[in-house]
Amino acid sequence: MMTQPSTARILDVVRQELAENVMPVTTDVQAQASLQMIDHILATVAVRVEHEIAWMVEEGDAIGALGDQIVTAEPQATGVATALAALRAAPLTSLHYDDVAARYSLAGEVLSCAFEDVPTDAPLRAALEAQLDQRMQHEVEIMGEFELVART
Amino acid sequence: MVDLESVRDRLGAFLQDQHGAPVEVADLEVLTGGYSLVTVAFTATTAEGSARYVLRTDPPSDAALTQSDRAQEAEVLAALTDAGTVPMPRLRWSDPTGDALGSPSLILDFVDGPQLLARLREVDDAELASLALQLAETIGTVHVAGNAAAPPSLARPTTWDDYVDGYIAGWRAVERDYPESDPFIRWVADWLDGHRPPPAPLTLVHGEFQTGNVMLDSSGAMQVIDWEYAHIGDPRADLGWMQNVAAFTPPDPMAVDPVGFCRRYCEVTGLDEDIVNPSTVAWFTVAAGYKSMGALLQGIAAVATGDNHLITSAYLVSAMPFIHGLWRETVHALEADAAAARSTVEAAS
């Protein structure tokens, strides 16, 4: 399997080709808008292929650990306990995308339940907010600059 | 791509049926600016003369970014056209079933002026401030006149609390229906539930009010278009959604002078500034749009399952992180304001 050039680098080349040789000769406004969208999508995909698997695994592990702390400190957090049990019942069996993404969704459910179960004045609330900010940081890194195209 | 030849032929036949005499359809132009429906401007000429109109029609079902009900939109627009009190282009004809025009369609007067969003991007600060106040008056007029003009078929929430419960439940349902968990939605639904603003009288709400859905006609008056999400609800939902969309597509006219904008809106509507102010509008900036964003997420989910091949849906995957960030910023700012207000009260006592 060839790993060089990397997928991200190939996507960069595709974007450059579209920008320099396709966009300038495209006159249809709908097609121009599509090309702008495609360029943005390719930019996001380039970041995803570089980091997505690692970020999902890292976030999932951190949320699992946080879930353990919540279940110990907040006995009323039954939603978290149930979601955490589902996460623990689905150990990471491979680094193939579907396996990692399925487990990441289960971790997301733990985090969702935590916001519903953990009181806003509980000591663990700050850690919950930090975990959501971590997820936000990754999302923003993937999204990059974003402003809706073709709106005027 | 839109097959304009087919659209012209169908329009010609449809309008001839409506008019009872030959109608020539010409000068068709696909209008960009919206993501959900196909919009085509055209000129219809009869023995009496020519007029320009806009066709709003559903795209083919496998190419639909969002789903909305053209029959209900036709009913709303017909009622508002009859009332004549809401600033909007008149509805001329409709084909809610799509039997004649190929897909459910509306035909409205063409507004011969720029979209407000485009205009806001080219004016200086003074003009921007002036247009912002005009916009406050326009949406205030919609909310004052709309209550009486809305068709009886529009569902009316029993109470304001029921209505707001629907918002919060709506967001939770959007999250539940998506193929993976979204902790931002669950977090924000919980926050909304615990930080409700004081209630406002329910009235006709446009449902997707934004500067891209306002046209300036040749007299400079504002005309509100695209009523597919109109419903009876809290009028601040329109102001909040406008700010939400402006974050994606600046400028935000309300941000020029948020207090002044709300004050002018209150002058037009008679609502108290305790009810309509930048903080209560900000709550709706977060809350509003579960229908629009929910529809958008349905489209994105359909991409995930292979039921949708729209490039726009794939592109709008990035709208969710953007809106997550907007929610975080807005909630943090509101909580900081509330903490500062509590400190002031404590210091005074």
Joined tokens for residue A35: 């090309």
Q: B-chain residues within 8 Å CB-CB of A113?
A: 186
**Nearest CA-CA distance, residue A140 and chain B, Å:** 6
The reply to whether residue A108 touches residue B181, judged by beta carbons under 8 angstroms, is yes
Residue of B nearest to A116 (CA): B190
Average pLDDT over every residue of B219-230? 94
Residue B41, classed as helix, strand or coil, is strand
Question: Between these two residues, B22 and A151, which has the higher pLDDT value?
Answer: B22
Is the pLDDT at B107 greater than 70? The verdict is yes
Q: What is the mean pLDDT of residues B151-166?
A: 93
Residue B34: the pLDDT is 60
Which pLDDT score, from 0 to 100, does residue B289 have? Answer: 76
Query: How many Cβ atoms sit within 10 Å of the Cβ of residue B173?
Result: 15
pLDDT in tens, B161-211: 999 999 999 999 999 999 999 999 999 999 999 999 999 999 999 999 999
Residue B315 forms contact with A (CB below 8 Å): yes
Q: Above 70 in pLDDT, residue B61?
A: no
| AA letter at B49 | G
**Contact (CB<8Å) A146/B322:** yes
Tokens (6 digits) for A132? 């959501």
Which of A135-144, B98-107, B196-205, B262-271 bottoms out in mean pLDDT, i.e. has the lowest?
B98-107
Q: Which has more confidence, A129 or B19?
A: A129
Which of B115, B120, B315 is the best residue to mutate to test the A interface, defined by the most A CB atoms within 10 Å of its own CB?
B315
CB A73 within 8 A of CB A121: no
Closest to B30 (Cα-Cα) out of B59, B50, B71:
B59
- Residue A129 distance to chain B (closest CA, Å): 10
Q: Structure tokens of A71? A: 């279940």
Spell out where chain B has E strands. Answer: 24-30, 38-46, 49-57, 91-95, 105-109, 203-205, 214-216, 222-224, 231-233
ipTM score: 0.93
Percent of chain B surpassing pLDDT 90: 72
Alpha helices by DSSP H, listed for B68-202, are: 70-83, 116-120, 125-149, 160-177, 183-194
CB atoms within 10 A of CB B130: 14
Domains of chain B as residue ranges with CATH: 4-109 (3.30.200.20), 116-348 (3.90.1200.10)
- CA gap A33, B217 in Å, rounded: 26
DSSP conformational letter for B198: P
Q: What is the pLDDT of residue B67?
A: 56
Please report, for chain A, the start and end positions of each structural domain, with discontinuous segments joined by +.
Answer: 7-143
Mean pLDDT value of segment B243-260? 94
- Tokens linked to A52: 């997505």
Average pLDDT of span B70-83: 91
* Euclidean distance between CA atoms B283 and B330, whole angstroms: 8
A37-63 residues labelled b (16+ CB within 10 A) or e (exposed): bbbbbbbbbbbbebebbebbbebbebb
Q: Which of B302, B293, B65 is nearest to B188 (CA)?
A: B293
Q: What is the pLDDT of residues B286-323, one digit of tens each?
A: 998 787 788 889 889 999 999 888 899 999 999 999 99
- Dihedrals phi, psi of B272, to nearest 5 degrees: -80, 150
Does the pLDDT of residue B274 top 60, yes or no?
yes
**Model confidence over A57-82: pLDDT tens digits?**
999 999 999 999 999 999 999 999 99
User: What pLDDT band is residue A112 in, cutting at 50, 70 and 90?
Assistant: very high
Backbone Cα Rg of chain A: 20
- Give the residue-averaged pLDDT of B105-125: 94
Strands B91-95 and B105-109: antiparallel
Helix (H, G, I), strand (E, B) or coil at B217: coil
Cβ of B341 under 8 Å from any chain A Cβ? Answer: no
Please, what is the average pLDDT of chain B?
A: 91
**Residue A69 to residue A47: CA distance in whole angstroms:** 32
- For CA atoms B89, B94, B100, B105, the dihedral sign is positive
